[in-house]
Structure 1
Amino acid sequence: MKIACVQLGVEGGAVADNVESAIERVREAAADGADLVVLPELFDVGYFAFEAYARAAESLAGDRLSRFAAAAADGDVNVLAGTVVEDLGASAADGIDVPAGAGLANAAVLFDREGERRLVYRKHHLFGYGSEETDRMVPGERVPVIDLEGVRLGVTTCYDLRFPEQFREMVEAGVECVLVPSAWPYPRVEHWRTLGRARAIENLAYVAAVNGSGAFDGDALCGRTAVYDPWGTTLASAGEEPATVTAEVDPERVASVREEFPALRDRR
């Protein structure tokens, strides 16, 4: 499976412009032969545009995500629409299963080649350090894993990288590749590089860590999107500017590495 990780340049609060840019990048990646396109965390509103969260929030069946479903179908490509601000009440009204209570969630949505919603992941670990996410969002409860294009696939989001037990839960469900849409800021560049690689090494799985690019009133995303193989080897990476990073994910490679180095069988 060929993954295209879109390191999008995100403008805080400029939802319409960010969405147009993301749709165009999805089309470009599809035309270039990608099987799966992955966008960053809160690519539509911008992570640090906290005051715009409520204004940007929609149901997962709303008009904005419907455009990405249509882009997936039109381009014959799977699309992880990064994460968006979900209005849980609106989603519930549209018949979508949501966590208990109302409010907003940081939700990743994966559409298949037919534009069908295949996976919804709501960020579990909300970031509170110099952030308002914990004040404005409701944490998710589930860690879904699906089969897509012959690959057992899971999703986490940004700060989740610091919590290895969540990745172990996915490994128990047979995950072979984890997508990590993120809005990782400066100055913690070495944390970003180390944690993504560590999650790949310890779980003997691919990790596609997809970051954004852009500045938000004193905060800036560090970019450096990267895809790591089950040994933790960097298959492809970017700098801090907008870019699309592509890599091949092979489930047979996961099986062979786990057979050669059976660390997961040695857990106690």
Structure 2
Amino acid sequence: MRIACVQLGVEGGAVTANVERALARIRTAAAAGADVVVLPELFDVGYFAFEAYARAAESVAGDRLSRFAAAAADEGVHVLAGTVVEDLAASAADGVVVPATEGLANTAVLFDRTGDRRLVYRKRHLFGYGSEETNRMVPGESTPVVEIDDVCVGVTTCYDLRFPEQFRRLVDSGIDCVLVPSAWPYPRVEHWRTLGRARAIENLAYVATVNGSGTFDGDALCGRTSVYDPWGTTLASAGDEPTTVTADVDPNRVATVREEFPALHDRR
């Protein structure tokens, strides 16, 4: 399974431009042979554009995400719409199971090759340090997994990287690969590099950390999108400019590494 991690250049509050840019990158990645295209956290509105959250919020069955479902079907590729601001009341009205009947959530939505919605993940650990996320968002309550081309995939978001117990739950669900859409800023570059690699090493799984690129009123995303294999080896990585990082994920490699080094069996 080839994943294309889109390190998108994000403009704060410029939803229309960000969406068009993301759709173009999906088409390019699919044409280059990607099986899964992953977008970063709040790629449509920009993480630090807090005042624009309510204006940008929609149901996961809304018109904007429907364009990404259509792109997945048109290009024959799986698409993780990295995260968006979800209007929980609107989703509930559309028959979607939600953690609360009102408020906003930081939500990742995975569409399959036919455009069907296969996974919805709402960020569980909301970031409060120098951020308004905890005041504006409702945390998620579940960490689902899904099979993509015989690869068991889980999703976490950005700050979740600091909570290894969440990744252990994913391991217990059988994951081979974790996709981590993020909006990770400077100056915590070493944290970003270390935590993604650590989650891969300790869980003997692929981890793809997908960051954005851009500056928002003094806050700048550090990029450095990376894919780590089950040994924690960096398969592909980027600097801080917009680009796409690609790597192949092999579930047989996960099984082999876990058999050669059965640390997960020694948990107590």
TM-score of the pair, normalised by structure 1: 1.00
Task: Number of aligned residue pairs: give it.
Answer: 268
What amino acid maps onto 1:54 in structure 2? A
Q: Mark the runs of 5 or more structure 2 residues left unpaired by the alignment.
A: none
Question: Contact conserved, 2:107 with 2:123, CA < 8 A, in 1?
Answer: yes
Q: Mark the runs of 5 or more structure 1 residues left unpaired by the alignment.
A: none
Please list, as runs of the form range in 1=range in 2, the aligned pairs for 1:32-71 lying within 5 A after superposition: 32-71=32-71
The 1-side partners of 2:214 and 2:108 are apart by 20
The 1-side partners of 2:171 and 2:61 are apart by 29
The 1-side partners of 2:102 and 2:163 are apart by 26
Please list, as runs of the form range in 1=range in 2, the aligned pairs for 1:53-92 lying within 5 A after superposition: 53-92=53-92
Q: Indicate whether 1:204 and 2:167 are aligned.
A: no
Find the counterpart in structure 1 of residue 105 from structure 2.
Answer: 105
The 2-side partners of 1:100 and 1:182 are apart by 23
> How far apart are 1:101 and its partner, in Å?
3.4
Find the counterpart in structure 1 of residue 250 from structure 2.
Answer: 250
Please list, as runs of the form range in 1=range in 2, the aligned pairs for 1:1-268 lying within 5 A after superposition: 1-268=1-268
Superposed structure 1 runs of 4+ greater than 4 Å apart: none
> How far apart are 1:100 and its partner, in Å?
2.5
The 2-side partners of 1:177 and 1:99 are apart by 25
Question: Contact conserved, 2:88 with 2:100, CA < 8 A, in 1?
Answer: no
Question: Contact conserved, 2:205 with 2:254, CA < 8 A, in 1?
Answer: yes
Partner SS state of residue 214, structure 2: strand
The 2-side partners of 1:190 and 1:100 are apart by 35
- Identity fraction in percent: 82
Partner SS state of residue 119, structure 1: strand
The 2-side partners of 1:13 and 1:91 are apart by 22
> How far apart are 1:146 and its partner, in Å?
1.0
What amino acid maps onto 2:198 in structure 1? A
TM-score of the pair, normalised by structure 2: 1.00
1:27-56 Cα deviation digits (max 9, x unpaired): 000010100000000000000000000000
> How far apart are 1:26 and its partner, in Å?
0.2
Partner SS state of residue 83, structure 1: strand
Partner SS state of residue 34, structure 1: coil
The 1-side partners of 2:87 and 2:149 are apart by 30
1:101-120 Cα deviation digits (max 9, x unpaired): 31000000000000000000
Question: Contact conserved, 2:40 with 2:183, CA < 8 A, in 1?
Answer: yes
Partner SS state of residue 221, structure 2: strand
Partner SS state of residue 65, structure 2: helix
Question: Contact conserved, 2:180 with 2:208, CA < 8 A, in 1?
Answer: yes
> How far apart are 1:71 and its partner, in Å?
0.3
Q: Please report the RMSD computed on the Cα atoms of aligned residues, expressed in angstroms.
A: 0.4
Partner SS state of residue 198, structure 2: helix
Partner SS state of residue 174, structure 1: coil
